[in-house]
A and B are shown apart, each in its own frame.
Chain A
């Protein structure tokens, strides 16, 4: 057992990177669930974003355009879910699961010609001055731009939900869609927009895997990250601040688990692998008062 071989600076730096894709996907899903929609298709939207982002980045040579393409790809896919659940009033759980399966298949099909190709590189930015601060510099200020964009999106979501009128409407729709409807708010449009945002964020998260972290396209590359994102939303009790914390915790466990193994620590990896889920369950039990959005997962029809 030799913990000295784990460099804490590098550890926290890679923790931020490992957390970014699940952070992006989770913050999108948080908005969706705050609007009262349970979209279990995060995994499908992530993987679709991963492949569309990769295709666009390879075609244009620009990772930035790739990320934009990924956001659009994820948003388009999410609108299928939106149309089915909001207009055709299908069951959200079943439709979300179908979306995941569909996304996995669709992405495999789209990615056929892109296997084994390398993505254009996406350089880290070394923030001037701040990046040179010892310890904190390498941990916080020497990453690729998407790490910061993920955090900015989280802050923006917090501001939107709790400091803006539109965010209040969105939360109202999620808490009680009948009341929101009676007040004259357009429940369906609000939800469609939220679903699109969720899809775009999931797409960004997927593209972060295919363009930065791995970086290449392989089928099924998200490997369950979408499900972790869903767990984080619950873990965070639908609050953006706790969500960032949760994403770092979940990301941290993955990195820590590998670090401990490489350092020769004999903790069975299964314990570390299950720890984030145990934490989620613990949080659910502690907050058994259960503050999930009131209309979460319920079908809304204006005539009812």
Chain B
């Protein structure tokens, strides 16, 4: 008798639980975010989280957002994404290149859940890809860096040898070289997106080897602090404005603005109009912002940098416009030719003039 009562009440509880769950599920759209770093990194992940907060602010009680931070790129990511899908997320953003295969794998198991993968190239029926044309911002950085350097050595803290990073190096180099033929790039591969100690060390090493401008493709503000400690060194904010280091060493920045995209995609899921897309927006649509150029930069340099920004934004200038040769001297783009997105998306070579090899 007792056992029967127990069974009955358990069943009732389960029914109640699932009922309540189903009801909550019906009225709220659940949006999940998978981050590679902590939300407090002050750079990449911070900006994605700002996008998440913007989604919450836009839709209020109609959405519920969840996030998991500091997810390692690898098998762990697959576990985290699966868990999120099992927990009833309708839309999941995975915000690092290394989440590409895990996202595609999990998406195959959950055909009703929509996935959005940042900076990757593998699309599926329920997987969209989105990225920003950071190389547009890198062009402006190179343009400024080439003119403010006195040692003609520009340090570059690279993260992983993937097309997005290589594109940034090439873009910055081309535009630095354009304004300063003597410029030289020293590139350090940190093999991390986020490791403040290592980034600080890399910045220090570059400064010790003569660099007076340090560009970074890693996410923390540690290189900024290292440059500040060294004194006469310029830096640029990466992913986020990093304005706390303005006006020196941070003289400008690339700001990622994901909020409009995240809001639009969440809206699409709510309306049932979501489709698998590939989005690659730059300065024009506002996905890439250029942080205020400080007075540490000479006025005429600032003016020409802003002119370049506007030209990129209205489409009259493309940062990869020929003639451009590959590192080995072979022709990549002829005079006036503009790079196609396919080559850019898979870029795995340096342009002519950069020394060293891309690690394999």
The total of interchain contacts (Cβ-Cβ below 8 angstroms) comes to: 100
Question: Which stretch (A23-31, A59-67, A218-226) binds chain B?
Answer: A218-226
Q: Is B204 among interface residues, defined by CB-CB distance under 8 A?
A: yes
Interface string of B178-201 (1 = CB under 8 A from A): 000000001111011011111011
* Residue in chain B with minimal CB distance to A7: B208
Q: Is A111 among interface residues, defined by CB-CB distance under 8 A?
A: yes
Q: Is A215 among interface residues, defined by CB-CB distance under 8 A?
A: yes
Is B40 a contact of A112 with CB atoms below 8 Å?
yes
Q: Is B96 among interface residues, defined by CB-CB distance under 8 A?
A: no
Is B197 a contact of A258 with CB atoms below 8 Å?
no
Is A118 a contact of B155 with CB atoms below 8 Å?
no
Is A261 a contact of B187 with CB atoms below 8 Å?
yes
Question: Which stretch (A155-163, A174-182, A230-238, A263-271) binds chain B?
Answer: A263-271
Q: Is B356 among interface residues, defined by CB-CB distance under 8 A?
A: yes
* Residue in chain A with minimal CB distance to B206: A262
Q: Is B359 among interface residues, defined by CB-CB distance under 8 A?
A: yes
Smallest distance from the beta carbon of A25 to chain B beta carbons, Å? 13
Contact A209 to B204, CB < 8 A, known contacts A262-B188, A269-B189: no
Q: Is B76 among interface residues, defined by CB-CB distance under 8 A?
A: no
Smallest distance from the beta carbon of A221 to chain B beta carbons, Å? 5
* Residue in chain B with minimal CB distance to A268: B359
Smallest distance from the beta carbon of A256 to chain B beta carbons, Å? 9
Which residues of B sit under 8 angstroms from A7, Cβ to Cβ? Answer: 208-209
Report the Cα distance A225→B196, complex, angstroms: 12
Report the Cα distance A28→B247, complex, angstroms: 41
Is A214 a contact of B197 with CB atoms below 8 Å?
yes
* Residue in chain B with minimal CB distance to A254: B201
Report the Cα distance A7→B194, complex, angstroms: 27
Report the Cα distance A216→B43, complex, angstroms: 14
Report the Cα distance A258→B223, complex, angstroms: 14
Which residues of A sit under 8 angstroms from B194, Cβ to Cβ? Answer: 218, 220
Is A116 a contact of B42 with CB atoms below 8 Å?
yes
* Residue in chain A with minimal CB distance to B240: A116
Is B189 a contact of A261 with CB atoms below 8 Å?
yes
Q: Is A142 among interface residues, defined by CB-CB distance under 8 A?
A: no
Is B197 a contact of A219 with CB atoms below 8 Å?
no
* Residue in chain A with minimal CB distance to B357: A266
Q: Is B225 among interface residues, defined by CB-CB distance under 8 A?
A: yes
Among B42, B198, B356, the residue within 8 A (CB) of A266 is B356
Within 8 A of A (CB), among B324-360: 355-357, 359
For chain B, the bracket of interface size reads: 35 or more
For chain A, the bracket of interface size reads: 35 or more
Within 8 A of B (CB), among A228-261: 254-255, 258-259, 261
Q: Is B144 among interface residues, defined by CB-CB distance under 8 A?
A: no
Report the Cα distance A273→B187, complex, angstroms: 17
Which residues of A sit under 8 angstroms from B187, Cβ to Cβ? Answer: 261-262
Q: Is A213 among interface residues, defined by CB-CB distance under 8 A?
A: yes
Which residues of B sit under 8 angstroms from A223, Cβ to Cβ? Answer: 192, 195-198
Is A254 a contact of B198 with CB atoms below 8 Å?
yes
Is A218 a contact of B220 with CB atoms below 8 Å?
yes
Q: Is A6 among interface residues, defined by CB-CB distance under 8 A?
A: yes
Smallest distance from the beta carbon of B190 to chain A beta carbons, Å? 8
Which residues of B sit under 8 angstroms from A18, Cβ to Cβ? Answer: 201
Report the Cα distance A11→B205, complex, angstroms: 8
Which residues of B sit under 8 angstroms from A37, Cβ to Cβ? Answer: none
Q: Is A10 among interface residues, defined by CB-CB distance under 8 A?
A: yes
Which residues of B sit under 8 angstroms from A115, Cβ to Cβ? Answer: 40, 42
Q: Is B202 among interface residues, defined by CB-CB distance under 8 A?
A: yes
Which residues of A sit under 8 angstroms from B42, Cβ to Cβ? Answer: 115-116, 218
Report the Cα distance A14→B198, complex, angstroms: 13
Which residues of A sit under 8 angstroms from B220, Cβ to Cβ? Answer: 218
Interface string of B143-172 (1 = CB under 8 A from A): 000000000000100000000000000000
Which residues of A sit under 8 angstroms from B31, Cβ to Cβ? Answer: none
Which residues of A sit under 8 angstroms from B209, Cβ to Cβ? Answer: 5-7, 259, 262-263
Which residues of B sit under 8 angstroms from A222, Cβ to Cβ? Answer: 197
Is B202 a contact of A258 with CB atoms below 8 Å?
yes
Smallest distance from the beta carbon of A213 to chain B beta carbons, Å? 6
Is B205 a contact of A259 with CB atoms below 8 Å?
yes
Which residues of A sit under 8 angstroms from B359, Cβ to Cβ? Answer: 268-269
What 8 A-B pairs come out closest when comparing CB atoms?
A219-B38, A115-B40, A258-B205, A223-B195, A10-B208, A262-B186, A261-B188, A221-B196
Listed by A's residue number, 15 A-B pairs whose Cβ atoms lie within 8 Å are A108-B38, A112-B40, A116-B42, A213-B200, A216-B221, A218-B38, A218-B222, A219-B70, A220-B37, A221-B197, A222-B197, A225-B197, A258-B205, A262-B209, A268-B359
